[in-house]
């Protein structure tokens, strides 16, 4: 299994997850031309995608989904609430998902779980295949225990670390927006992300990417310091943490099993 972070933040989110020939575009929130270019950079054409997987309908996650899906006949996997908001003309491309069920897409089992966020039926995902396990959860106001459970034993966790409370409250956002971001249906603070990872205790994710960082109310330094401090205190200082970039493709991860398979036998 391999995962690329193409972009992550309120200006547009986009990841690719690939496993044994199954390629999923997870989020489609950047302009279509850029997504096409990014796919091209890893040797993929939009027609080759097995599916577009969306967490929710906010524009920074879904902007180009309808166009890409209809132009290239790629099905969209999302909750009914998200699919409804997209106004798909061709409903044969809609694949409605229910939280708690398992949906095999090619070689990958897609396992959606409900998260608290201010839109209709937002989801997070756990992806499992013969070569790896990854989970992604961004845009959630807090982490209920049934969500935190999804982070256990994954090889890669992509988790929102949206804001530093001090930067948010002393920053330039209007009061209502500060309330929205920090509310139970808003976004996750750095400390809340750290606590959620730490709650996995003896079954933590092997690698963590902190994602959807606010450009106004956070910085990679703030996110990394806060999360690392919490993990160290809880005996998880060994878990590697990186931060995604707002608009750049900056991270690629390959699971240990997939890496072994790529190595020549007698190198």
Q: Smallest gap, in angstroms, from Cβ of residue 117 to Zn ion?
A: 6
Asked if 18 interacts with Zn ion (CB under 5 A), we say no
Of 139 and 155, nearer to Zn ion (C-beta) is: 139
As measured in angstroms, the least distance from the Cβ of 210 to Zn ion is 14
In whole angstroms, the minimum distance from the beta carbon of 212 to Zn ion comes to 6
Distance CA 187, CA 145 (A): 16
Q: Which is nearer to Zn ion, 79 or 131 (by Cβ)? A: 79
Among 127, 121, 139, smallest CA distance to 29 is for: 139
* Residue span binding Zn ion (CB under 5 A) among the ranges 37-45, 73-81, 131-139, 162-170: 131-139
Torsion sign, CA atoms 170, 172, 178, 182: negative
The Cβ of residue 145 has, within 10 Å, a number of other Cβ atoms equal to: 8
**CA max distance for the chain:** 62
Closer by beta carbon to Zn ion, 5 or else 22: 5
Pick out residues in 25-84 that bind Zn ion (CB under 5 A). 58, 60
CB-CB contact of 50 with 58 (8 Å): no
* Shortest Å distance, C-beta 58 to Zn ion: 4
Alpha-carbon gap, residue 216 to 238, rounded angstroms: 29
**Cβ-based neighbours of 169, under 8 Å, separated by 6 or more:** 178
User: Residue 24 or residue 188: which is nearer to Zn ion going by CB?
Assistant: 188
Count Cα neighbours of 246 within 13 Å in the Cβ-side half-sphere. 10
Structure tokens at 256: 């240990």
Give me the least distance between CB of 267 and Zn ion, in Å please.
42
Nearer to Zn ion, 159 or 236 (CB): 159
Residue number, 82 or 150, with CB nearest to Zn ion: 82
Least Å from the CB of residue 116 to Zn ion: 11
User: Hey, which residues between 235 and 264 contact Zn ion (CB under 5 A)?
Assistant: none
Write out the two tokens for 21: 């020939």
Instruction: Round to whole Å and give the CA distance between 90 and 75.
Output: 10
Among 139, 155, 160, 195, binds Zn ion (CB under 5 A): 139
Q: List residues near Zn ion by CB under 5 A.
A: 58, 60, 139
């Amino acid at each position: 299994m391999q995962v690329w972070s193409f972009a992550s933040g309120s200006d547009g989110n986009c990841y690719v997850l690939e496993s044994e020939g199954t390629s999923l575009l997870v989020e489609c929130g950047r302009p279509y031309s850029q997504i096409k270019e990014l796919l091209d950079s890893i040797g993929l054409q939009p027609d080759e995608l097995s599916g577009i997987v969306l967490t929710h309908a906010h524009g920074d996650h879904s902007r180009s989904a309808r166009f890409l899906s209809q132009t290239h006949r790629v099905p969209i996997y999302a909750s009914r609430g998200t699919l409804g908001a997209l106004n798909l003309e061709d409903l044969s491309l809609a694949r409605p998902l229910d939280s708690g069920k398992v949906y095999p897409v090619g070689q990958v089992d897609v396992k959606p779980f409900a998260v608290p966020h201010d839109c209709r039926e937002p989801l997070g995902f756990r992806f499992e295949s013969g070569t790896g396990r990854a989970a992604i959860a961004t845009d959630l106001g807090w982490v209920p225990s049934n969500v935190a459970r999804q982070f256990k034993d994954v090889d890669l966790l992509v988790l929102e670390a949206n804001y530093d409370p001090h930067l948010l409250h002393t920053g330039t956002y209007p009061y209502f927006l500060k309330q929205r971001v920090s509310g139970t249906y808003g976004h996750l603070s750095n400390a809340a992300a750290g606590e959620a990872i730490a709650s996995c205790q003896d079954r933590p994710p092997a690698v963590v990417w902190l994602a959807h960082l606010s450009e106004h109310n956070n910085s990679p330094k703030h996110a990394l310091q806060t999360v690392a401090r919490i993990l160290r205190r809880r005996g998880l200082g060994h878990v590697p943490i990186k931060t995604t970039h707002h608009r750049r493709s900056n991270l690629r991860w390959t699971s240990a099993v997939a890496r072994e398979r790529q190595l020549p036998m007698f190198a």
